[in-house]
């Protein structure tokens, strides 16, 4: 069994309040869950209205599948216009 996690830091352009940030992050989490069938949670920078850190996690028997899936999530996020992906780190256990 392989467990893959990806920590992704994003910068939200037009966010002027935590309410704006929550709206962007909530929509993003729902789109990622629905499209890729992975777990997503905001794990850091909760009080910063411009930056969010998300964790994306999946489990599979095949490490290559885990890596491909997490790479697809990052590519999907990089195409979004509401924010920029600042940094990410993928780990497969």
pLDDT digits (tens, 9 = 90+) for 34-66: 999 999 999 998 899 999 999 999 999 999 999
Residue-range definition of the domain harbouring residue 41 = 2-92
The beta strand positions in 1-93, using DSSP E, are 2-12, 39-44, 51-60, 83-92
Q: Is residue 93 scored above 90 in pLDDT?
A: yes
Residues of the chain with pLDDT > 90, as a percent, come to 94
Q: Is 10 helix (H, G, I), strand (E, B) or coil?
A: strand
Give the domain CATH number at 11: 3.30.70.1120
- Cα separations (Å) of 74 from 1, 24, 46, 67, 93? 22, 16, 20, 11, 18
pLDDT number for residue 46 = 86
Kindly indicate the confidence band of residue 26, based on its pLDDT and cuts at 50, 70 and 90.
Answer: very high
How many domains does the chain fold into? 1
Using DSSP, how many helices (H) and how many strands (E) does the chain show? 2, 4
């Amino acid at each position: 069994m392989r467990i893959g996690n990806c920590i992704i830091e994003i910068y939200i352009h037009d966010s002027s309040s935590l309410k704006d940030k929550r709206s962007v992050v909530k929509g993003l989490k729902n789109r990622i869950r629905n499209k890729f069938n992975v777990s997503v949670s905001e794990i850091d920078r909760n009080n910063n209205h411009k930056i969010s850190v998300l964790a994306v996690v999946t489990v599979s028997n095949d490490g290559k599948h885990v890596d491909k899936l997490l790479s697809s999530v990052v590519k999907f996020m990089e195409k979004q216009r509401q924010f920029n992906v600042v940094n990410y780190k993928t780990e497969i256990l």
